[in-house]
Amino acid sequence: MHASILAPSILAGDHANLASSAAVVEQLGLQWLHVDIMDGHFVPNLTFGPQTVAALRKTSKLFFDVHLMLDEPQRYVKPFAEAGANLISIHIEPLYDHTEALKRIRELGCQCGIVLNPDTPADAIKALVHEVDLVLIMTVQPGFGGQPFRRDMLPKIEQISRWRAERGLSFRLEVDGGVDLSTGADCRRAGADTFVAGTSFFKAKDRSAFASQFASL
């Protein structure tokens, strides 16, 4: 079983000072930073472009876990790889050549991930799990931080975790949306090992305690 990784989401950071929000994460000794990219089409919200990621890259050594919520992610993997992404995840729902896009991400020197929305069944990615470094299970409808965790996603986490064991694969299993210490512990029991936390991390009174409690999940 992979050790647990906490990936704070910069979406819940200070948008007028993203570098300082990333520095808070790095200073705690954490390694990952989750970066949500939204296009106003695939999800009803807008966030950052590659220029912002490139600017952050200059100030941070964190592992950038870039989550593309885009209708045409294949058009943007190169700019985000060049901006300094370490891992790029793309959704299964839009129509494009997923295998080709995942391959492209690898060729660009990044790890690759595939993402499922809450309404998308696990079966939709069954044929792709051997091609990815990470499977990201959305535990809210993507678009906004601060939404309640969907407990009905726990069986999906269990199912994908079971496939991983049965096929002897080693991709990371990440959850995103409404994750805090309590829901994170439930996800861990279901098989998740990588935890995106936006609101719960940035609003925590004692972030250091929060991070060490996650580390021992």
Among 22, 135, 137, 197, binds ligand DX5 (CB under 6 A): 197
Strand-by-strand arrangement of the 32-38 sheet: 5-8, 194-197, 172-176, 134-138, 111-116, 87-91, 63-69, 32-38
DSSP for 153-196 reads GHHHHHHHHHHHHHTT---EEEEESS--HHHHHHHHHHT--EEE
* CA–CA dist 25, 19 (Å, integer): 10
Q: Write out the DSSP string of 81-129.
A: HHHT-SEEEEESSS-S-HHHHHHHHHHTT-EEEEEE-TTS-GGGGGGGG
* Residue 65 designated active-site: no
Q: Spell out, one character per residue from 86 to 115, where the chain touches Zn ion: x when CB under 5 A holds, - when not.
A: ------------------------------
Measured from the CB atom, is 141 or 159 closer to ligand DX5? Answer: 141
Residue 176 interacting with Zn ion (CB under 5 A):
yes
The option from Zn ion, ligand DX5, none interacting with 11 (CB < 5 to 8 A, set by class) reads ligand DX5
* Distance set, CA 103 to CA 4, 127, 172, 193, 214 (Å): 26, 14, 17, 24, 32
Helices 181-190, 207-215: inter-axial angle, 10-degree rounding? 10
197 binds, among ligand DX5, Zn ion, none (CB under 5 to 8 A by kind): ligand DX5
**Can you tell me which of 79, 94, 118, 143 binds ligand DX5, judged by CB under 6 A?**
143
Q: Does position 44 bind ligand DX5 by CB under 6 A?
A: no
Q: Which of the choices Zn ion, ligand DX5, none does residue 179 contact, using the CB cut-off of 5 to 8 A by kind? A: ligand DX5
Q: Pick from Zn ion, ligand DX5, none: which does 77 bind, CB < 5 to 8 A by kind?
A: none
x-or-dash string of contact with ligand DX5, 164-183, rule CB under 6 A:
------------xxxx----
Q: Any catalytic annotation for residue 180?
A: no
- Provide the residue type at 53 as one letter: V
Q: Which of 12, 22, 25, 114 binds ligand DX5 (CB under 6 A)?
A: 12
What does the binding site for ligand DX5 look like in residue numbers (CB under 6 A)? 9, 11-12, 34, 36, 67, 140, 142-147, 176-179, 196-200
